[in-house]
Amino acid sequence: MGNEIRAVLVSLDGDHYPFTSKLDFDCINNMEEYELCIMEIQPAIECKIKVLEVYSYSALVIFQLKDEWDIRDSKLINYQRLVLELIKDFDDITFCYLPRDENQMVDALATLASMVRVNKQDNVKPIQISIYEVPAYCYNIEKEKRDDHPWYHDILQYVTKNDKRTLRRLANKYVLDREILYKRRKDQVLLKCVDAIEAKKILEEVHERIYGTYANGFTMPRKIMRFEYSWSTVEGDYVNYGKRCHKCQIYGDKIHVPHSLLHVMTSPWPLSMWFMDVIGPISLKASNGHQFIFMVIYYFTKWVKVASYANVTKLAVSKFLKKDIIYWYGMPERIISDNALNLNNSTIAEVCSHFKIKHHNSSPYRPKMNGAVEAANKNIEKVVGENDKDL
């Protein structure tokens, strides 16, 4: 069981150093070729070789290491990372593709192996074969570093060895479960105490939104505690960590500005779109001579603002928009009207340009808006007509 891989290290003087290993785990052909490439590089590192040429008959391995081919098999990603990490020990390394037909070394070794005859009486030196039970990248996993004296070291010593009695009251908030120390909150929830190394890892993961959406330096420590972690300097550590984050420096002060564009909605913000129209002339004039009604309706809630005039001039429309809409409700995004001249002129265009308001005509842009406005017009005309009858 297992596949054997063989490699030969050739020096500049022509000396040959063969290596062989056995892969005692299930692997595909591409994994075997990466294992062979790693076995070729590791002896060169042990011999402190700084310039190396690697020849392989696997086009996939060579061109993936040259970053000319993409890796589509997830099983090969860790192999590529390991090789790229190993080649940092060389001053110069070259990967060369050598087809099987041109690999004279393999043909020579195969021919010699078939010609050798070994007698039982002859003393043959044993051949050492390395056996790997797991992939090569598993041997390269570094052991996690631990902080020998974290911030809770004194508390842990008191709980375990009953020393430093001055910490008795402080230690009452902590519970020891095997070798893990927990802090008890007021609601009896246990928070795991972590050292500086693990705290740094938690900060990175929380800041990169692995545990949810982004939050600022004031809410993030409470979010970390909700995930049942605790250390004494969590708030200060996160504030200092945010100061080194490039995105936080750009968007941190702009609380209401998102990182990406907002999705388009019917109403981007309250009172964003208004429609204006004129009703009249009314058959029975008012006592002050007014016979026209200027109406502005909010598109989303159908809220109506009206004013009566003897003549709806462009100055009257401009004054109404400023006083009763912009100064009272804020600047809208757009205003829609029909093609009437008193609603489409240079004065209205100047007002819209000054307040950066988009002015559109309803006929080509908002056909549905016409129905809403006409319904509002009928209601106003009905009210005016009933008042006329009463008079």
pLDDT at position 245 over 90: no
pLDDT score at 386:
60
Question: Can you give the pLDDT at residue 391?
Answer: 41
Interval 171-176 mean pLDDT: 78
More confident residue, 380 or 201: 201
Verdict on whether the full-model pTM lies above 0.75: no
Cα separation, 18 vs 36, in Å, equals: 12
| Range ranked top by mean pLDDT from 105-119, 156-170, 296-310 | 296-310
Mean pLDDT along residues 202-211: 71
- CB contact at 8 A, 2 and 22: yes
pLDDT at position 365, please? 46
Nearest to 139 by CA among 18, 37, 42: 42
Q: 42 in helix, strand or coil? A: helix
pLDDT digits (tens, 9 = 90+) for 344-379: 999 999 999 999 999 988 765 444 455 666 666 666
The residues with which 18 forms a beta bridge, in sequence order, are 8
pLDDT class of 129 with cuts at 50, 70, 90: low
Residue 253 class from Cβ within 10 Å (0-12 exposed, 13-18 middle, 19+ buried)? exposed
Average pLDDT of the residues in 188-202: 83
Spatial separation of the C-alpha atoms in residues 68 and 76, rounded to whole Å = 15
**Region 242-265 average pLDDT:** 65
Do β-strands 180-184 and 174-177 pair in parallel, antiparallel, or remain unpaired? antiparallel
* Residue 170, token pair as written in the block: 């402080």
- What integer is the mean pLDDT of 75-89? 82
> Across all residues in the chain, what is the average pLDDT?
75
Look up tokens 């016409």; give the residue.
370
Least confident of 13-17, 215-219, 299-303: 215-219
Phi and psi based region of residue 212 (left: phi greater than 0; alpha: psi -120 to 50; beta: remaining): left
**Per-residue pLDDT tens digits for 299-326:** 877 888 989 999 999 999 999 999 999 9
Output the furthest CA–CA distance in the chain (Å, rounded): 136
Residue with the larger pLDDT of the pair 3 and 50: 50
Lowest model confidence (mean pLDDT) among 9-18, 284-293, 330-339: 9-18
In order of start, what are the domains of the chain with their CATH numbers?
3-116+124-140 (3.30.420.10), 155-251 (1.10.340.70), 273-390 (3.30.420.10)
The Cα–Cα gap between 6 and 21 comes to 7
Q: Which has more confidence, 152 or 88?
A: 88
Asked if pLDDT for residue 116 goes beyond 60, the answer is no
Nearest to 97, CA basis, from 64, 136, 131: 64
pLDDT of residue 390: 46
Examine the pLDDT at 150 and tell me if it is beyond 80. Answer: no
Strand partners, 10: 16
